Amino acid sequence: MRDRPNDRVHRRVAAAKLGRPLKPTEVAHHLDEDKANNQGANLAVESRSNHTIRHNQTRQLGRLRAALRMIRERSKLY
């Protein structure tokens, strides 16, 4: 993990929201994907495996959207 001064702020905020420390297997996920937004309402605690699945699905959805945009743009050319 990268060593940044505010790297764990989101974990501390999420822990305070839960009322307990986060387990090493838990992740504080930024719902709006803005890593600078560490407000409690923007953080969801989930397992590392679920977090990985969530991000993989988001990337896959982004690729599908990009492919659809390309198809639409090509169809406009004809």
Note the pLDDT tens digit of each residue in 12-41.
999 999 999 999 999 999 999 899 999 999
Q: What is the pTM of this model?
A: 0.66
Taking the C-alpha atoms of residue 68 and residue 59, their distance in angstroms, rounded to an integer, is 14
Q: How confident is the model at residue 76 (pLDDT cuts 50, 70, 90)?
A: confident
Q: Which residues contact 18 (CB under 8 A, 6 or more apart)?
A: 45
Tokens 């953080």 label which residue? 43
Say if residue 4's pLDDT is above 70.
no
Question: Which pLDDT belongs to residue 3?
Answer: 53
Q: What is the SS3 assignment for 27?
A: strand
What are the tokens at 33?
A: 């994907």
Strand-strand pairing, 26-30 and 43-47: antiparallel
